[in-house]
Copies of this chain bind each other. A is one copy, B any other.
Amino acid sequence: MFVSKVFRLPEVSPARRFPSFSACLPEDIPSRTADHGPEPPVRKPPKGSSQLNRWSRARAIRSGRRLDSPALRKMTAPHFSSPPPTSSSSSPSLSQLDEIPPSISDDFQDDGEVAAAKAIYMVSDGTGWTAEHSVNAALGQFEHCLVDRGCPVNTHLFSGVEDVERLMEIVKQAAKEGALVLYTLVDPSMAKSAEQACKLWGVPSTDILRPTTEAIAAHLGVAPSGIPRGAPGRKAPLTEEYFQRIEAIDFTIKQDDGAQPRNLNRAHIVLVGVSRTGKTPLSIYLAQKGYKVANIPIVMGVELPKALFEINQEKVFGLTINPVVLLSIRKARAKSLGLDGEMRSNYSEMDYVREELEYANKIFVQNPVWPVIEVTGKAIEETAAVVVRICHDRKQKCLMPRISKRY
């Protein structure tokens, strides 16, 4: 869901407009690029520091200071027909809006840099998450352009678009902004209207889900219902999967960070690794998919719970990570937690990190049934895909490995 944003702006000191703004974002983390030496020209190694530095710049932008780069100044906002937001207002609603995280914030429409970006409109008569997911995945194919060649893109999600009037408004606005319209409209008359209106106003457009739906319709020999999700006539979501998923989430939250080892036997998946290898977000991601996940931290000097070795060992997965990357993540974390002095140096220094990873590695060697997954450079979704694949491969010893579901 999360694709990188680029901030190629000069560093300036953050001048926050709203006093409440600082409350919802971590403290500034100074640039530490010097720690890592020069960077290769094309592919950058994963580094928390420069990314966090970008984040801090992003916040500076959002805090409303002026842009100094002439290259940016000449990028004006020719397309936006709506009046700019009243940026000097300090009404409660505006101060709240500032608290939405920067990547999903909308208050960048008065920002010269971003207005020059190409716009992609995603229009859905449902939640819009399918459009968002597909567009994110497709944009992954343009990272070389987004990151290196500087063609910024803004996506705009219009969800719950259930009447033609609203649809027409959106298409008209897309025409004004020169946007691409990508839609998932399951009501055939809405889809037709979108197609015709886009044609009429010269807006490039694509129905994201139609090829998939048509292929399935042909395969099943059944026409699609044309009823959006959540509309009357669609079935209620209180299916067994619903309960299974809720239970998995409840279980996983309660088992976070080594809590309640007596329940380990009830987990579908048990993740083991040192602090900041991403055990918690991975657990949560898998829980959303219906797996009950427990995660257990490896801490030097703290024995792993006995129960871990008594449960089915094929449930257990080790996570490991490159020490340099781990150190940068931990440093960022320590700073964000406001830790310093003794504790921080102990937690984040390189020797300690290496020693702890070696300690973890020894445990992994002693437990050869546990697959050990290298998480360096992997998104949560990617590690999750590996875990799930191994889980299912293990049970299909004589079949072609696959993850199957019934509908």
Contact = CB atoms under 8 A, between A and B. Distances in A.
A290 B207 CA distance: 27
Interface string A212-247: 111111111010111101101111111111111111
Interface in A44-82: 44-48, 51-52, 54-55, 58, 82
A156 interface: yes
A184 B208 CA distance: 13
Contacts of A33: none
Interface in A256-279: 256, 265-268, 278
Given A2-B290, A157-B402, A238-B46, A392 B106 contact: yes
Interface string A121-149: 10000111110011101111111111101
A158 B401 CA distance: 7
B284 A284 contact: yes
A171 to B, nearest CB: 11
Interface in A276-298: 278, 280-281, 284-285, 287-292
Contact of A399 (B109, B153, B392, B406): B109
B395 A93 contact: yes
Interface stretch (A300-308, A345-353, A354-362, A381-389): A381-389
A323 B210 CA distance: 38
A45 B237 CA distance: 10
A239 B106 contact: no
A85 interface: yes
A209 interface: yes
A215 B182 contact: yes
A4 B400 contact: no
A309 B405 CA distance: 45
B241 A3 contact: yes
A290 B170 CA distance: 26
A291 B143 contact: no
Contact of A395 (B45, B96, B143, B396): B96
A102 interface: yes
A406 B117 contact: yes
A355 B43 CA distance: 60
A27 to B, nearest CB: 12
A197 interface: no
Nearest to A393: B106
Nearest to A20: B312
A142 B92 CA distance: 45
A401 B166 CA distance: 11
Interface string A71-115: 000000000001101100000111111011111111111000010
Interface string A367-397: 0000000000111111011100101101111
Contact of A96 (B139, B214, B394, B396): B394
A268 B103 contact: no
B230 A102 contact: no
A325 interface: yes
A59 to B, nearest CB: 9
A26 B247 contact: yes
Contact of A225 (B105, B129, B142): B142
Interface string A168-192: 0110010000001010101000000
A287 to B, nearest CB: 7
Given A99-B315, A139-B407, A243-B332, 5 more contacts: A43-B235, A101-B290, A121-B402, A130-B133, A147-B235
13 contacts: A1-B245, A2-B237, A5-B239, A5-B405, A5-B406, A20-B312, A51-B240, A96-B312, A106-B395, A138-B224, A141-B224, A147-B235, A154-B406
The 3 closest A-B pairs by CB, nearest first: A46-B236, A97-B395, A141-B224
